[in-house]
Amino acid sequence: MIDRSATSPLLRVLSGQCQSIPPIWLMRQAGRYLPEYRALRAQANGFLDLCFDPKRAAEITLQPIRRFGFDAAILFSDILVVPHALGQRVTFVEGEGPRLDALGDPQSLQRLKQEIDHALLAPVYEAIVRVKQDLPAEVALLGFCGAPWTLATYMIAGCGTPDQAPARLFAYRYSEAFAQLIDVLTTASISYLVRQFAAGVDAVQIFDTWAGVLPADEFDRWCIEPLARMVAGVRRQVPAAKIIGFPRGAGTKLTQYLDRVAVDAVGLDWMIAPEFVRDEVQPHRPVQGNLDPLALLAGGAALDRAIDGILEAFSLGPFIFNLGHGVLPDTPIAHVDQLVARVRGRSASP
Ligand code: CP3
């Protein structure tokens, strides 16, 4: 197998090196804004079927690499395959997002398996092997999982909610049962990430999309503490594991997060103050981010200005260009071309 640590600009940044042209990839780079994705999606029975079809999942993972030449491919899958592999029913309703059998009270947690079913996840590991065979040597393959807190928010509510009130209430009312759920998810996620590394990913990202809704002490307990255990647990089995954390909405709590969670780099959302990042974050860890997905959707001069501001703020230190959250489905392809060209110092039009 190719060792990409020398050839991949993204892996060099994760080792703390600066690159004169920052590597670039985008969260949700494989998805509905791409016509070639929509074509494959239309043939599939449902979104999860697509995630568990190794050939198609590998193909979708490679689509944005072929089109835009990004510096990293992110495995096409979803964070909710982990609750699925713990025995919770997960479906995706077209245009509405995920639906799970909600875990409404402590008793319902007994419906979950204590250990993740790797047999159900075998197609994910096979997709990794397939992508690896076709990926250029300078492109890194990223695996991923959801952080325990973010997974728990979907598992308890049974769907997406604006402020994750169901999980927050559950954690206040039944903190012991909630702690047990977080433990099961932490252990399951460690073994899931270890298997992804064994199958061939070069690095992983841990998505904590809902980190920003918690008060400080709850953030410590449900985000920082399990993440610290997860990163240590993965490294016990894969000592060289490269890990990116993405605690969306953490704000100034990023300082505590980075003090205690030994991630190699941290993903920034688009709301964080650049001065804070330059003074308090980037001196300690490489950063990744943080273009507003709406600026990418808008395009034009506003997009150019937003890109230049980010390059000016972060590109003197170790930096990976990305969005502050995922690509929105209505994003025009031409705007992504404009972004990649500008970050790499070329004009978008030939
Ligand atoms: O980034 C990538 O291109 C890799 C694939 C990926 C998907 N989801 C594909 C997807 C990744 C890394 C995720 C992560 C994910 N999934 C998160 C964390 C990051 C984030 O976006 O906040 C979360 C919270 C989920 C759960 C999830 N999956 C939701 C809430 C939804 C519905 C919202 C939506 O955009 O439709 C999904 C569906 C989903 N995951 C789609 C894709 C391409 C769209 C499904 C479709 O084609 O119908």
Residue 265: left (phi > 0), alpha (psi -120 to 50), or beta?
beta
Amino acid (one-letter) located at 30 = A
Q: Is the CB of 76 under 6 A from ligand 1?
A: yes
Residue 229 annotated to the active site: no
- Give the residue whose CA is nearest to atom 41 of ligand 1: 31
* Dist. CA 268–CA 211, nearest whole Å: 12
Q: Are 313 and 273 in contact (CB under 8 A)?
A: no
* Dist. CA 9–CA 6, nearest whole Å: 8
In the numeric block, which tokens belong to residue 3? 């060792």
Q: Which helix (H) or strand (E) holds 218?
A: helix 216-219
Look up residue 159 and give its DSSP letter. S
Under-70 pLDDT residues of the chain: 1, 346-350
Residue in the block written with tokens 């690095």 = 203
* Dist. CA 185–CA 146, nearest whole Å: 9
Quick one: which atom of ligand 1 is closest to the CA of 150? Answer: 24
- Catalytic residue, chosen from 33, 37, 154, 257, is 154
The predicted pLDDT at position 90 comes to 97
Q: Which helix (H) or strand (E) holds 133?
A: helix 118-134
Quick one: which atom of ligand 1 is closest to the CA of 74? Answer: 4
In angstroms, how far is CA 18 from the centroid of its own chain?
A: 22
Q: Are 151 and 82 in contact (CB under 8 A)?
A: yes
- Give the residue whose CA is nearest to atom 2 of ligand 1: 28
Q: Which of 156, 132, 94 is nearest to 2 (CA)?
A: 132
Q: What angle do CA 11, 63, 148 make, to 5 degrees?
A: 60
Residue 32 annotated to the active site: yes
Q: Is the CB of 246 under 6 A from ligand 1?
A: no
Give distance in angstroms: CA of 78 to centre of ligand 1: 6
Q: Determine the straight-line distance between the first and last CA of the chain, rounded to whole angstroms.
A: 37
The predicted pLDDT at position 350 comes to 41
Residue 33 annotated to the active site: no
Q: Is the CB of 99 under 6 A from ligand 1?
A: no
Q: Which helix (H) or strand (E) holds 244?
A: strand 243-247
* Dist. CA 271–CA 250, nearest whole Å: 10
The predicted pLDDT at position 349 comes to 46
Residue 142 β-bridge partners: 74, 203
In the numeric block, which tokens belong to residue 288? 């990744």
Q: Are 138 and 8 in contact (CB under 8 A)?
A: yes
Give distance in angstroms: CA of 350 to centre of ligand 1: 33
DSSP per-residue string spanning 134-147: HS-TTSEEEEEEE-
SS3 of residue 54 by DSSP: helix
- Cis bond leading into 45, ω under 30°? no
Entry pTM: 0.97
Residue 154 annotated to the active site: yes
